[in-house]
Amino acid sequence: MAIAPDREVFEAAASWYVQFQAEPPTLAEKNAWQLWIDSDPAHLAAWNQVEQLQRNLGTLPQDLKRRALNSRQQRRQVLKLLLLAAGTGFVGWNVQQHTSLGNVWADYQTGVGQRRSLTLVDGSHIQLNTDTAIDVSFNATQRLIRLRAGEILIQTGKLGDPRPFFVETDDGRVQALGTRFSVHQLPGATRVGVLEDRVGIQPADVSASARILQAGEGADFDRRHIGFIQPFSSAQVAWINGQLIVLDARLGDVIEELQRYRRGVLHCDGGARNLRVSGTFRLDSTDAVLANLQASLPINVRYFTRYWVSLSHRA
């Protein structure tokens, strides 16, 4: 049975592809790529998908092809050029469910490591975190934000608009009750945190119970259940200022968070994952963050390529 690589694996394969097309790989880079391919059958499956895209890319006009191969824009934009030129869907791939390709048609989006701020016609302010895509749909009866992927922070408008304000995710709806709040689409769940006033959560399953969250509260929910209420503070949305603030966190969790802000693969081995970390880190310079972590913790940081970095425990 064919193996269907998930989104992260496919994006890693796309990183290798873009890098190797932009400049010839070194021997070390070729070896690192081969190790990655051999380490998991899903990696090979993802690379085969990319190779199929490469064959299609050969049909593009030369100026468009050159832009796609040499651009430093996010991989989504490179693949968007292919889709627009070819006029077809992504071969052998479930666009809407398995990759960010479906998000190229979103009303607003950010690439990996980017942030963006929007002010809507009702005066509401939305900030988009890294790798985020939303649709905005206002009509006579409601104001609706569809979160396709990623994370947003919303300050609802103060213009007295009587229409209800909703954020819809794969898992259900969040209703703003005159508030400032964040919504993050996780794999299989949605995370909501409230900084001001209240929000209501209604899972997609209409038989599931709804819940109101107050300022300072957060919770995860899926299509059927709402999880336990947890404390939520402004430190958890420090990304709006380009910061990651952690207090006595596992290094593995910190690395997983940093992975959201850089292209390629950022791997932390089992020996280092449980080391404890505290600090404030700049998200626009993840290489500097890794250097600081290496200086303050018993770890080694190895760069196989720009897109493949490994952290290991130093005895």
**Residue 125 and residue 229 in one domain:** yes
Q: Residue 45 has what pLDDT?
A: 80
Q: What is the mean pLDDT of residues 241-262?
A: 94
Record the pTM. 0.70
Among 75, 105, 135, residue at a domain's last position: 105
When comparing pLDDT for 132 and 8, which is higher?
132
Widest pairwise Cα distance in the chain: 63
Range of the domain at 15: 7-105
Paired with 192 in beta bridges are: 183, 219
Give the SS3 label for residue 151.
strand
Q: Compute the C-alpha angle 248/255/10, nearest 5°.
A: 155
**Residue 136 and residue 212 in one domain:** yes
Q: Residue 246 has what pLDDT?
A: 94
Q: What is the mean pLDDT of residues 107-114?
A: 89
Residue 195 has pLDDT above 50, yes or no: yes
Total domain count for the chain? 3
CA-CA-CA-CA torsion for 226, 227, 229, 235, nearest 10 degrees? -100
**Residue 131 and residue 172 in one domain:** yes
Residue 287 has pLDDT above 60, yes or no: yes
Q: Compute the C-alpha angle 195/146/12, nearest 5°.
A: 95
How many Cβ atoms from other residues are within 10 Å of residue 235's Cβ?
Answer: 12
| Selection from 93, 91, 3, 14 nearest residue 42 by Cα | 3
**Residue 128 and residue 213 in one domain:** yes
Q: Residue 23 has what pLDDT?
A: 64
Question: In CATH, what number is assigned to the domain containing residue 302?
Answer: 3.55.50.30
CA-CA-CA-CA torsion for 277, 278, 280, 285, nearest 10 degrees? -10
How much is the mean pLDDT over the chain?
A: 81
Q: What is the mean pLDDT of residues 116-142?
A: 93
